[in-house]
Each structure stands twice: as C-alpha cells, then as structure tokens.
Amino acid sequence: MEEQALFDEAGLFVSQSRILTNGTTYSTANVTSVSMSFTPPDKGCPLTLIGIGTVGLFLGLALLTDSPAPGMGSLVIAGVMLAAGIWWFRSLKPTYHVVFRSVSGEVEALSSQNRSLVERFVEAVNAAIVARG
C-alpha cells in the first residue's frame, strides 16, 4: 500500500501510518489524540520600558519649563524608550504547541508561533488518526 501524504509542509509530514516532526517519527497507531495549546508571550519587559518612557516624558516636560536644554534631551530619550517599548509589545506573539496523547503519556511534538501552520497540522493528524482507526 502506497503512503499518501495528508500534510507535507515546513519539515512536517503526516500520513495515515506515521507523523514526522522535527526529525522525530511517531506511529499514528500509538497516538490516541492530538490537541493544540498556547503559551502567551511574556509582556513584563516591554510594559516596564513603556512605563519608564512615560515617566521620562513627564519628567522631561517638567525639566523643559526650567531650562530647555536638559528637558529636550530627556524628552528625546524618553520618546525613544516609549516607542521601543510599544514596538516590542506589538511584536510579541504567543507560541502554539501540538500535544500528542498515547497510552504511555503526553508529548509536546511541535511548538511554533505560526498558528495557521499548527492548526493545519493538528487537522491532518486528526484525519490520520480517524483514517487509521
């Protein structure tokens, strides 16, 4: 019987009899279920940078009333920190995980920030489990 690929993309492969992820091969006969989970990104550092930049802007404005030279420098530095913090915060993405369950336990088979790829992979593994069943 010829093996038909249900999914073959980005180094991932799923057929009715086997699953390949990151150089590891799993038999679909041993996988009882598959699920997707996610880990949210850690937002602490960019939020801290945004907070420091915001406080710096207010301090720079206060210094600006006394004398323009130190106030302008503070405003520029605080503005850069605020912009960097906002850019960093907006660039954060969750990490999606594929978890295989079998009679011997659970294994995290794949992690990626590409949600679409992970969803398509999970659908293909589910189809392989059903077809094998």
List all residues 6 or more positions away from 43 whose beta carbon is below 8 Å from its beta carbon. 89, 92
**How high is the pLDDT of residue 72?**
81
User: Do residues 50 and 77 both lie within one domain?
Assistant: yes
31 and 51 assigned to the same domain = no
Share of the chain above pLDDT 90, in %: 68
Range of the domain at 71: 44-91
The CATH number assigned to the domain holding 114 equals 2.30.29
User: Are 75 and 105 found together in one domain?
Assistant: no
pLDDT tens-digit readout, 49-81: 999 999 998 888 887 776 667 678 888 899 999
Q: Which pLDDT belongs to residue 87?
A: 97
Q: Is the pLDDT of residue 1 over 60?
A: no
For residue 113, name the pLDDT band (cuts at 50, 70, 90): very high
* pLDDT value of position 75: 87
- Mark whether 70 and 106 lie in a shared domain: no
Kind plus residue range of the DSSP H or E element containing 1? none
Average pLDDT of the chain is: 90
pLDDT level of residue 118 (50, 70, 90 thresholds)? very high
Cα separations in angstroms, 74 against 49, 59, 64, 83: 15, 8, 9, 14
Calculate what percentage of the chain has a pLDDT beyond 70. Answer: 93
pLDDT average, residue stretch 98-120: 93
54 in the same domain as 76:
yes
Residue ranges of E strands in the chain: 5-9, 12-15, 18-21, 24-27, 33-39, 95-102, 105-112
- Within a 10 A sphere around the Cβ of 110, how many other Cβ atoms? 23
Q: Domains in the chain: how many in total? A: 2
Determine the pLDDT at residue 80.
95
**25 and 55 housed in the same domain:** no
In this structure, are 35 and 99 located in the same domain?
Answer: yes
